[in-house]
Amino acid sequence: MPVAQVRCWAGTGAAYALAHPELGLSETGCREQTDDAMAAYTHALMWYFTGNIAHANKAIEIMNAWSATNTEILFDQPRTNLNQQIYANGKLQAGWTAELITRAAEIIRYSNAGWSSTDITRFSQMLNNVYLPLTITGWTSQSNWLMTFADATISIGIFNDDRATFNAGVAYWRAKVTSTIYMTSDGVQPVAPTISSQFDTPAEIKSYWYSPTSYIDGLQEETGRDLSHMTMGLGSMSNAAASAGIQGVDLFAEQSTRIRTSYELNAGFTNQYLDEVARLGTTPPSTWRPTGWVNPNFNLGGEAYKGGWEVAYEHYAVQLGIPMPNTEKLVKRLRPNGTAMQLSWETLTHAR
């Protein structure tokens, strides 16, 4: 059910709200918004592949309902008495939703599905007024956030035929990819995600990268956090590059070595984990680590690690014929890819 004001809190905000019931704070519309964006994208794909107009109508119904209702996603305000954000996940919420729902909108708009020009205009206004102010301004946070904002901003620019917005998303991608994947050519430590006192010492950079014992080529900023957040970052990065490529901007070529190296390194770690699960018939003990692992902890972080591999593999290995053996092994063992937020249905859309 669409809501006018989406409110998505993080841990601090939730704790504050629960401690102060007199303020009447609540989390509202978060799951509904992302679930509906996913549903719209799924129905749009079903319409495209089956020709069943009922799927197109459902996607249109969902998108129209939100564009007629949703006017705001809270983020910076209100704050706690210690000046902490209560709805700190609002920015990421906007990014995730924009990544998904613009894909649905593109398919429906250009497939003779019967979406009226009036409804398209209202949907476009929602993208500009509700989502774009949160995605185009970026954020200094984990890599999955950075790449989500790049992908969302590029996608909004494309749907709205807005070259300035598209260019802003591309510029953000270019500025942040080097701070999400390490290569020896970067120097003794990774590139900081922004010019900020938060990341101006080696110790701060190391903490941001989850305290690796060394920086190795292809290490992704969230590899040491967990495989799922790492893959969400790589996946959004690749989706953004794929969308830009359709518009004639070859981001995949600009960072080919960096991207392929990270996919191969992290696919190798993931394959080792899945090989160990197969060998043991159960989850490895908490002390288990893949060979070559440089971070203190190893975590899955959920099931999202199963998505995010197909787009880059299809571009480099299938289209260009560049060998990616670790990624190929992982892609084939994880197929078919299902729903994993913005990394959903990639086997359907990209496998050949």
Query: Could you tell me the residue ranges of all domains in the chain?
Result: 1-124, 178-352
1 — pLDDT class (breaks 50, 70, 90): confident
pLDDT above 90: residue 11: no
Q: What is the mean pLDDT of residues 237-258?
A: 98
Averaged confidence pLDDT in the chain: 96
Segment 145-159, tens digit of pLDDT: 999 999 999 999 999
Q: Rounded to two decimals, what is the model's pTM?
A: 0.97
Are 178 and 186 within 8 A, CB to CB? yes
**DSSP notation for 230-251:** HHHHHHHHHHHHHHHHHTT--H
Segment 183-196, tens digit of pLDDT: 999 999 999 987 66
User: Which residues are CB-contacts of 229 (< 8 A; sequence separation ≥ 6)?
Assistant: 142, 143, 144, 222, 301, 304
pLDDT above 90: residue 141: no
CA distance 223 to 104: 30
227 — pLDDT class (breaks 50, 70, 90): very high
Closest CA to 311 of 242, 220, 218, 260: 242
Count CB-CB contacts under 10 A for residue 192: 17
Segment 287-328, tens digit of pLDDT: 999 999 999 999 999 999 999 999 999 999 999 999 999 999
The phi and psi torsions of 147 (rounded to 5 degrees) equal: -75, -30
